Amino acid sequence: MVEGSKETLTNDHHGWLKAKAWKLHKKMVELLNNATKVGKDDPRRIVHSLKLGLAITTVSLFFYFEPLYDGLGASSIWAIITVVVVFEFSVGATLGKGMNRAIATLIAGAIGFGAHYITSFTGNIWHPILLGILIYTISATASYCRFFPKLKAKYDYGLLIFILTFNMVALSGFRDDEILKLAWHRLANILVGAFIAVAICIFVRPVWAGADLHQFVATNIENLGTFLEGFGIEYFGACQGEMVGGGNVMKYRSVLCSKQNEEALAYQATWEPPHGKFRLCHPWKQYQKIGTLSRDCAYCFEILNLYLNTDQIQLPLEIQRQYQEQCVQVCIESSKALKAMAKALRDIVPPALAKSHIEIAKKTAGELKLLLASSHFHGDMNMVSTTTLILLLIDSFSCVEKIVDSIHELVSLARLNTALQKSDVTPTEQKGSGDKASSQPHHIVTIAQSQFAE
């Protein structure tokens, strides 16, 4: 009996262990799958991790023979801290953080030394009081500055480091000559750390925020094009045979929330030296303009998408025949124009075919409006719903037109910039191309309405 229960206990224990092991095994597999997915989504992430490891190991071995926490109070530790904190994914982010840190350290060090020097002349009673007032005032002011939108966008990290360094220097209990020696040691260590971080970031398979932004905006434009193509095919059933993948069609949704990412990349790109196709003073701000227009277009698509998602709305065959051809043409030609523009943007070359696609789409949209204006609706709600859809489609096309114009402008600016830096072009040409581009955009509804008035 006792042996039996013992056996049961052992069996239970075995079962429990087995279940635990199985659970652990499942968790490990899930973790591994996750890790593989993160790497597959963007293989540069793996490279980045290896690069950071390399940077830290390099700076570590550099200091291996001069043990940390030795000599002048742990100066060499700052080289490691600098590498870990400054090393970011893209070159622009690394340079931005590095410059912020270096400049803030220098300024704060100087002011902190000044505060320390001035208060050191006062007596034992006044010294802590004066120092306290200085620390309070300067810390609070610098902290308040972090709320200024312009400073926050570019120098938030610098202000943090300023507060940190200022207090560290002002509070140090050293004599003046010691402080200068310490400052020199620390600065040298920070420079070594920053140099190693920046060098590895730039020279070992660099990731350029500028190139990323360029790619990101171009991909977004392409996704908008894919949606229009898919919408034309799926909704109006242009060619039932060749369906586009549902997942690809929905990719435009990432455009809706692209603002933050674009802003961050555009900020980082301004810190980067010329690289690849991108010369000094590349018009990075224009990308944000295109981004805003893309989002406006995506908002339109959100409404169109409602029509796509509900199976109940099916056009009666009669109506379908009446408008199908024109609607599909507007969708397909707009989509082709967007895709051509995305390609032109990618290569920074003047778009070859986009113009003609836009012309065809524009002509067809005009025809659609005339067709709508001449048709008689006898209280048919399906027809009303279709009209809504068609007018939304025309609105979307106007958005597409604006995007095409602003990419045109960007490409001309970028090419002019390149040409100017090769000193081949006179500045008058710049003005001309800018005017030409900016004279094209129109307001969405203005177009639609001006044609209604005709």
Q: Classify 205 as helix, strand or coil.
A: coil
Give the residue with the Cβ less far from its own copies, 13 or 285. 285
Nearer to its own copies, 153 or 257 (CB): 257
Least distance to its own copies, CB of residue 349, Å: 32
In this structure, are residues 441 and 401 in contact, taking their beta carbons and an 8 Å threshold?
yes
Q: Residue 418 CB, nearest distance to its own copies (Å)?
A: 33
Q: Which two tokens stand for residue 1?
A: 């009996």
For its own copies, the closer CB: 352 or 384: 384
Whichever of 421 and 449 has its CB closer to its own copies, that residue is 449
Q: Are 338 and 404 in contact (CB under 8 A)?
A: yes
Q: How far is the CB of 103 from its own copies (least distance, A)?
A: 18
**CB-nearer residue toward its own copies: 38 or 352:** 38
What is the DSSP-derived secondary structure letter of residue 243?
Answer: P
**Measured between alpha carbons, how far apart are the two ends of the chain, in Å?**
101
Encode burial over 168-207: b for 16+ CB neighbours within 10 A, e otherwise.
ebbebeeeeeebeebbebbbebbebbbebbbebbbeeebb
Q: For residue 409, report the phi and psi dihedrals to the nearest 5 degrees.
A: -60, -45
What's the min distance (Å) between Cβ of 362 and its own copies?
Answer: 18
Smaller CB separation from its own copies, 416 or 444: 444
Residue 46 Cβ, how far from its own copies at the closest point, in Å? 7
Cβ closest to its own copies, residue 179 vs residue 328: 179
Dihedral sign computed on CA atoms, order 395, 398, 404, 405: negative
CB 220 within 8 A of CB 70: no
- Between 353 and 391, whose beta carbon lies closer to its own copies? 391
Residues 134 and 119: beta-carbon distance below 8 Å = yes
**Closest separation in Å from C-beta 62 to its own copies:** 11
The two three-digit tokens of residue 131, written as one number: 């120092």
Q: Are 452 and 369 in contact (CB under 8 A)?
A: yes
Question: Encoding tokens for residue 344?
Answer: 């032109």
Nearest distance in Å: CB 9, its own copies:
35
Q: 243 near 233, Cβ under 8 Å?
A: yes
**C-alpha span between 442 and 454 (Å, rounded):** 17
Nearer to its own copies, 348 or 392 (CB): 392
Any idea which residue has 């109070």 for tokens? 73
Smallest distance from the beta carbon of 97 to its own copies, in angstroms? 12
Distance in Å, CB of 427 to its own copies, minimum: 28
- Measured CA to CA in angstroms, residue 11 lies from 3, 14, 335 at distances of 12, 5, 66
Angstrom distance (rounded) from CA 321 to CA 315: 9
Q: Bridge-partner residues for 278, per DSSP? A: 275
What is the spatial distance between Cα 122 and Cα 135, in angstroms, rounded to a whole number? 16
Residue 275: strand pairing partners: 278
Closest CB 356 distance from its own copies, rounded Å: 28
Q: To 10 degrees, what angle do helices 444-453 and 381-421 make?
A: 120
Compute φ and ψ for 76, nearest 5 degrees.
Answer: -70, -15
Residue 82 and residue 70: Cα distance in Å, rounded? 18
Nearer to its own copies, 322 or 430 (CB): 322
The nearest distance, CB 250 to its own copies, in angstroms, is 15
Residue closer to its own copies (CB basis): 298 or 413: 298
Using DSSP's 3-state secondary structure scheme, residue 172 falls into coil
